[in-house]
Amino acid sequence: MSMLKRFMPKTLKMKLRLALFAIGFFPFVFMLAYMHNLGKKKILDDTIAIQHAQMHMIKKSIEQQLTALENEISFLASLDIMNDMIADDVDKRIVHLLQGKQKGIAAEVNLFAVDPFYTIVASTLKKEKKRFTHADMLRNAIEEGKNDFIYKDHLYLFTNIDSTLQKNTPLGYLIMEYPLSNLTHFFVRQKGVRTLFYFPKSALKIGKMFKSGTLHLQKYQEDYMSERYLVLQEQFEGALSGGFIVYEIKKSVALSFLDQFMYFVWLVFALGFLIIAVFSWWIGKRILKPIGKLSAATQSIVSTQDYTTQVTVSSEGEINELAENFNMMIQEINKSFQCLEEENKVRLLRFVQLVNIFNRLIQTESEEACIALALEELQMLVPEQHFTFSSEYPKEEGGLNMLLYVKDFEKGVSHFYGVISLSGSDEIKDTEEIRFYRAIATMIMLQLDQIRLIAQTKAVSSAKSTFISHMSHELRTPLHTILSATQYLISYEALTLPQQEKIVTIESSADHLLGMINDILDLVQIEAGKVSVEVEPVSSETLEKSIREVYAMLGLLAEQKALSMHFENSVPSDVQVLADQRYVKQILINLLSNAIKFTSAGYIKISMQQCNGGLCIVVKDSGIGLSEDEQKLLFDEFTQFTHSEEGKQKGSGLGLAISKKLARLFEAELVLKSEGLGKGTEAVLKLKGINL
């Protein structure tokens, strides 16, 4: 270690030179060694991988072609025309079929149709009535359960021919003769590469190597490399199993890229070595000292946060310019920080002021209070200025005039309301300050619009409720008179039967109108918030009693229509819910009345069950049902549908709307569902449970 220290340079300049030289030199040496020792193997492995991929692709192409040919003969064997083999193909239809198929196949093949005794019935070679030449090999292949065999330089593919007239009746075999010379179409046309197809069982070789005797092809073996050649092998599958494809590649071709690359690396290494040596010497002399000063100044600024620090450099050129720019940058940063701090303080103050003004403005309930509060807040913001409000449009556009507009919600337009003026506003030139006052004006306008909208809404709601209430009361008085008169006339014995029927009709219509008026009054009271709700714990036992009361009340109506109506309860008696028992009963009357009204035949089922942390009362019927569009309008006021058998049913169209609003008063939920017209309706009233 001491000897190493003796030879180490003492100055930072020399250390830098040595370090830069080492940084550039050692990677080059390492890269050269790597390319020399590992580059050859990598390129060789890549070449083998690429060639194997190509071999695999060729092998798959051959196997796919043979598979396609097998499918072709299977298809031909399944045709009805093959039944002609029974008559020895007298009309030569099978011969014509085979000849036509032979022309449509890209490869050079022959087709034979032989009977179960291996006599050729039809072929593309016109050898009818002769025994199939390789009948023994065909029989052996059949006994072994194969559908192919190889003899010398031919591959034979065959399949059974069964009668389509009589099932399981064999007619013979359809054979395709495939010359293995067709494989020459798959030879690789590439410089320095030869292709050979070898079948050890028959010692058949298709193709030629670079030099005879260089290969020992007795069986499939792993890839190997000689002095001049690289030999790759891959074995076939399927019909050609037992054979394999061989690539013989010249090493000079495979490794030519490595030689060129090594020459390039040596050239770059020599040039890089020279550049690194010169650069390391120069950089230590010219850059190190000024850079050191800049580095020290930077560290000082980071540690002390003192942006008044300056750097003095005696050198000339780019380093001196860099130092001057560095000093200017520090000065600008210092100024920017100061400006940002001041601006942030002002912006934060203005934001807080805006929030405070807005919070106070939204609490005002009249237009006069809103304007007065705005003037007060503005005067507090700028005590030295004077703010005034005028309802007249300013004659002069100059100065700071905060124009106020309010919306006419009926006509959808805005009207001039007034202006808040600032005396001496010519002195305000800051754009941000003017935007601040404009923002205050916008908040004032929004609050004025809100005040007007609330007042209009209350007035409209009050007028609506008053009108409906007065009209309903005005109508009820004559209706009661009409009902009293009709009841008196009905009891009058001197009336004829037609006269009594007309009086009954008058009474029914008046009673219906009175019911509609009562519904309207109920709806008005709910919307006006005048309905008192007594939400209290109600047991399931109490609810069952209410349901049975409604059941008994409306049961006669169901009997008149011959409807089957029954009630089921699966809830324990100690389960409790939060509800107003009066309104629950009223809702059930509405639901059950609707079910009876809109069900002409079938059943009505009322059930009580636990559901999702609550208790559900379900009214299900087999009535006319509802379409998807009707379900969306179901709870709208005055909604009625006209597809029932009796046309439009009597009623106000308010029952479900009132029931929905009543349910919300004690946090219940009312839902109606139907699968479509003619499929009935299911109404579910879900009550909020206690500790469920």
pLDDT tens per residue across span 124-155: 887 667 888 888 998 998 888 889 998 888 89
Q: How many domains does the chain have?
A: 4
Lowest mean pLDDT among 190-194, 230-234, 246-250, 422-426: 422-426
Domain presence at residue 183: yes
Confirm whether 523 is domain-assigned. Answer: yes
Structure tokens at 282: 């120069």
Q: What percent of the chain has pLDDT over 90?
A: 4
Same domain, 111 and 147: yes
Rounded to the nearest angstrom, the gap between the alpha carbon of residue 433 and the centroid of all alpha carbons in its chain is 47
R_g of the chain computed on alpha carbons: 52
Confidence of residue 318 (pLDDT cuts 50, 70, 90): low
> In terms of domains, do 665 and 597 share one?
yes
Which of 10-19, 237-246, 302-311, 665-674 bottoms out in mean pLDDT, i.e. has the lowest? 10-19
| Whether residue 376 has pLDDT greater than 70 | yes
Q: Which of 224, 253, 282 is the last residue of a domain?
A: 253
Q: Which range (143-157, 218-232, 441-455) has the least confidence?
A: 218-232
Q: What is the pLDDT of residues 165-192, one digit of tens each?
A: 777 778 899 999 999 888 888 888 888 8
Instruction: Tell me: do 404 and 510 sit in the same domain.
Output: no
Q: Domain for residue 145, yes or no? A: yes
568 and 522 assigned to the same domain: no
Q: What domain range is 138 assigned to? A: 92-253
Residue 616, phi-psi category: left (phi > 0), alpha (psi -120 to 50), beta (remainder): beta
Cα 544 from Cα 571, distance rounded (Å): 10
Q: Are the beta carbons of 127 and 114 closer than 8 angstroms?
A: no
pLDDT surpasses 60 at 86: yes
- For the record, the structure tokens of 394 come out as 């300013």
Give the domain-ending residue among 527, 545, 580: 527
Among 234-238, 414-418, 442-446, 461-465, the minimum mean pLDDT is found in 461-465
Instruction: Classify 677 in phi/psi space as left (phi over 0), alpha (psi -120 to 50) or beta.
Output: beta
The answer to whether residue 290 sits within a structural domain is: no
Domain annotation covers residue 266:
no
Mean pLDDT of 297-318: 70
Res 9 pLDDT > 90? no
Same domain, yes or no: 420 and 486: no
Mean pLDDT of 47-69: 87
The separation between the first and the last C-alpha atoms of the chain, rounded to the nearest angstrom, is 82
Residue 247: the pLDDT is: 82
Residue 213 predicted with pLDDT over 60 = no
Tokens describing residue 106: 């890209």
Percentage of residues of the chain with pLDDT beyond 70: 76
Co-location of 101 and 228 in the same domain: yes
Separation CA 406–CA 408 (nearest Å): 7
Residues 112, 141, single domain; the answer is yes
561 & 679 share domain: yes
Residue 30 lies in a domain: no
> Residue 156: what pLDDT?
92
Residue 81 lies in a domain: no
Buried/exposed code over 46-68 (b: 16+ C-beta within 10 A; e: otherwise): ebbeebeebbeebbeebbebbee
Q: What is the DSSP letter of 92?
A: -
pLDDT at 648: 45
Task: Give yes or no for residue 517 having a pLDDT over 80.
Answer: no
Q: Where are any strands of DSSP class E within 41-118? A: 110-114
Query: Quick one: 517 and 666 in the same domain?
Result: no
Pair (495, 625) in one structural domain: no
- Whether the CB-CB separation of 668 and 688 falls below 8 Å is answered with yes
Residue 175: the pLDDT is 92
Flag whether 322 is in a domain. Answer: no
CATH (domain of 649) = 3.30.565.10
Select from 253, 270, 290 the last residue of a domain: 253
Does the pLDDT of residue 158 top 90, yes or no? Answer: yes
pLDDT recorded at residue 522: 64
Mean pLDDT of the chain: 78
Residue-level pLDDT at 71: 92
Token code pair at residue 44:
């060789």
Query: Based on the domain organization, do 433 and 505 belong to the same domain?
Result: no
Task: Say whether both 522 and 561 belong to one domain.
Answer: no
Q: What is the pLDDT of residue 94?
A: 85
Look at residue 464 and tell me whether its pLDDT is greater than 60: yes
**Contact in structure between 127 and 142 (CB atoms under 8 Å):** no
| Residues listed for the chain | 692
pLDDT tier for residue 646 given thresholds of 50, 70 and 90: very low
Buried b (16+ CB within 10 A) or exposed e, 243-253: bbbbbbbbbee
Global pTM exceeds 0.85: no
Which range has the worst mean pLDDT, 73-77, 208-212, 359-363, 562-566?
208-212
Task: Return the closest-CA partner of residue 583 out of 681, 653, 687, 511.
Answer: 687
**Helices (DSSP H) in 528-562: which residue ranges?**
540-560
